[in-house]
Chain A
Amino acid sequence: MSLSATDVAKVGVLARLALSPTEVEAMARQLSSIVGFVSQLEELDTTRIEPLAHPLDTRNVFRDDVPQTCLTTNQALQSAPRHDGECFLVPAVLGETGAA
């Protein structure tokens, strides 16, 4: 199993990584080797194996709907590269917002 430079460039864009052509080539080699290693699984017959949703056997972990203490705004913002005391500041975002 090998990944093309195009595959790697696309993954790079999705991960917001600016990869140079040299890096793309190196990544293509390394990623191919990782995927190749994992693809050994294809040699096994997994038709009767349930897909693993989670490695733990634990199920149904919930908490009650009870408010807890939040951080202060200062605490929340303190590690931000830029803020105005109320909000995080980021380069201009135009267009839609909210959950997709």
Chain B
Amino acid sequence: MPADASPFTTVIGLEVHVQLLTRTKLFCGCPTTFGAPANTQVCPVCLGLPGSLPVMNRRAFDLALRAALALDCTIAPFTKWDRKNYFYPDLPKGYQISQYDLPFSSDGSLEVVDPKGAFPPRRVGIIRVHLEEDAGKSMHDEAAGTADSRIDLNRAGTPLVEIVSQPDLRSPQEARAWLNELKLLLVYLGVSDCNMQEGSLRVDANVNLHVPRGDGSTAKTPIVEIKNMNSFRSVERALAYEAARQWEEWQRTGIEMGKAPKQTRGWDDAAGITRGQRHKEESSDYRYFPDPDLVPVTVAAEELAAIRAAMGEPPTRLRAALAEKWGIPAADAAVIVNQGRDVVAYYETVAGLVGEGKPAANWLQQDVLRTLNETGGTITDFPVGPAALADLIGRVGRGEFDTARGREIFAGLLTLGRAALPADVAAAVAALGITAVSDDELTDLVRGLLTANPKIVADVKGGKEQAAAGLIGQARKQNPNVNPGKVREVALTLIRAM
């Protein structure tokens, strides 16, 4: 439905938990390695045993600062940690160490621009970014029908930043694109690997509808928080479902925000619906208070400068730099940068060897990335290395092969590479039985064709140069290795000399 035709505006805010790329937990020296056997990365601190005391991980705090700076947040000169009290079996202390009234950063933003202009550029405010610990993992095998849940506390105490956006997003599509941009930024800056399958990035979404009334005022539907979305695609689908559900409910009940408590709903990906969960506890029910076990942290201006200096280039700047350096369109640079650092490195190697940016960008997008999309895998183990691709692009550019032939050779390179054979252009050409046609051979061939096709010769002489195209098919029939462009070029030269 186009935005101007919709009878309501969808208002979306996101809460993103991101695991920081540290070796150890936030308050103890237990490793954070994913996939370790249950309860092998635990100690008295993260088990919440009496007498144990937390000590803050320097690296976690620095990475959190890096994330906040990248999101243009204001860094608080003074910050502290609070206890968020609730009971759950995966939370051994009975409280989570989090940040309440003095988070280390606030008031940032992150803009998302769709390279294809599917929605207008959207700058989304960041309310706050704070640093907290994760809970453990509880597993319940409903199929086995057992009465017990099993608790693995390896994850308990893992450092997370929680990023809370303003309700500035206006469609499920925008929300997904913004999450992609956020992930790209955090991965580029080495803050997190943002791997959703491993739980390094989790998203909750708040959504409601603003419905204009006839009198110029706006009705707002009750806010719903959606949980349990395990991919960005799920986020998009869940938001679309929820907006439609709220619209239907609004039309049926007319219940506005404030007339019903905030609701939490879980996304069921298989069923494609959200389901109501428990009513969210009011924040006062968490009985936050400053954690006496942790002393506050102050951040000096020099520290911030050092972190800024070590931060590396964010994707927005990299896109501009790439477009400028290689003279490629902004949309091409966006596609390349959005694929991550490894693809950028691959592209720059190819472009450097070719000595020209645009053909390298074309081949990368149309051939390399398309292949990766179809077959999966990463650029680092792509069967065609940058040197071979650059060689091929160079030869096509010099007219040794036409583009169609070039594609066949690219496919040949893929086959060789997949078979772990040396994948260079010469080998692919040999494997495909392609032999280069010498200039003499080509001239002889075209001369023969001109004799056999007096009408074409006459047409060209009469000014219809496009008639020469009629020779190409015949030339390829006689020798499939000829370059159509060259056939045309040689034919025109010969006819002019006649």
Contact = CB atoms under 8 A, between A and B. Distances in A.
B135 A84 contact: no
Given A94-B140, A99-B17, A71 B31 contact: no
B37 A92 contact: no
A76 B156 CA distance: 13
Query: What is the size category of the interface that chain A forms with chain B?
Result: 35 or more
A52 to B, nearest CB: 8
Interface stretch (B106-114, B284-292, B317-325): B284-292
A84 B151 CA distance: 10
Greatest chain A CB density within 10 A among B60, B87, B150, B228 is at: B150
A44 interface: no
Greatest chain A CB density within 10 A among B55, B61, B285, B296 is at: B296
Interface in A23-66: 53-56, 58-66
Interface in B180-226: 199, 202
A35 to B, nearest CB: 14
A72 B31 CA distance: 13
A90 B227 contact: no
Nearest to B296: A53
A58 B295 CA distance: 6
A14 interface: yes
B132 A91 contact: no
Given A16-B87, A54-B80, A76-B47, A86 B39 contact: yes
Interface in A72-96: 72-73, 76-77, 82, 84, 86-96
Contacts of A82: 148
Contact of A62 (B56, B90, B151, B227): B56
A70 B40 contact: yes
Contact of B24 (A14, A67, A98): A67
A22 interface: no
Contacts of A54: 80, 290, 292, 294-296
A16 B285 CA distance: 12
A68 interface: yes
Contact of B199 (A87, A91, A98): A98
Contacts, number: 155
Contacts of B455: none
B420 interface: no
B30 A88 contact: no
Nearest to A98: B135
Nearest to A64: B58
B295 A96 contact: no
Interface residues of B, number: 70
Contacts of A92: 140, 146-149
A20 interface: no
A87 B290 contact: no
B42 to A, nearest CB: 5
Interface string B138-158: 111000001111111100000
A86 B150 CA distance: 9
A65 B149 contact: no
B139 to A, nearest CB: 7
Given A73-B37, A96-B266, A62 B148 contact: no
B228 A73 contact: no
Given A14-B285, A90-B89, A97 B44 contact: no
A99 to B, nearest CB: 5
Contacts of B278: 95
B86 interface: yes
B277 interface: yes
Contacts of A61: 55-56, 294-295
Nearest to A79: B49
B452 to A, nearest CB: 76
A36 B43 CA distance: 40
Given A61-B56, A68-B29, A89-B150, 13 more contacts: A14-B285, A53-B80, A53-B296, A61-B294, A62-B55, A62-B56, A65-B60, A87-B139, A88-B151, A89-B149, A96-B228, A96-B266, A97-B137
**Nearest 3 CB-CB pairs, A to B?**
A68-B29, A65-B59, A87-B150
